[in-house]
Structure 1
Amino acid sequence: MNAMHQYLFDTYRAAQHGERMPPLPGTHDVATVRALRDRRRFRAVLAGRPARGRLRTALSRWARPKAC
């Protein structure tokens, strides 16, 4: 069963019981991703690491040729 099937079951049950309809699947995805990003940045600052640009720095370090 995927998220859409579960949504349809929940919608049907809510209609039968006279309750509010559940939110559509994916409604709060953007807010969840932002909250996770903010939490990771906050934990990085607490650990003394840079909060931004870590991926770009790591990729540039990997792509840079090694000095022999």
Structure 2
Amino acid sequence: MSITQQYLLDTYRAHRQGEPAPPAPGANDWQVVRELRDHRQFGAVLAGRPAHGRIRPAVVRWLRLRPRSTY
């Protein structure tokens, strides 16, 4: 059963029982991404690491440590 079919079945059941309809699939995806980002930043602060600007320095370090090709 696909996500869409499950959603339609849940909506039908909710309507028959007089309950509010469930949220559509994907309706809260961005909220989940934001909450995950906030959780990671909070964990970084608790661990004593900077919460912002960690990706660019890591990429620069990775590029500097890579062996250069000889040709």
Q: Same fold (TM over 0.5)?
A: yes
Unaligned runs of 5+ in 2: 67-71
Counterpart Cα distance in 2 of 1:8 and 1:54: 42
**Residues 11, 35 of structure 1: CA spacing in aligned structure 2 closer, same or farther, 3 A cutoff?**
same
Q: Deviations over 1:3-39 (max 9, x none)?
A: 2121111011112212211111111111111111001
Residue equivalent to 2:12: 12
The alignment yields a C-alpha RMSD, in angstroms, of 1.5
Counterpart Cα distance in 2 of 1:12 and 1:45: 45
Aligned length: 66
Letter in 2 for 1:43: G
Residue equivalent to 1:61: 61
Unaligned runs of 5+ in 1: none
Residue equivalent to 2:69: none
**TM-score normalised by structure 2 residue count:** 0.80
**TM-score normalised by structure 1 residue count:** 0.82
The list of structure 1 runs, each at least 4 consecutive aligned residues, that deviate by more than 6 angstroms after superposition, is: none
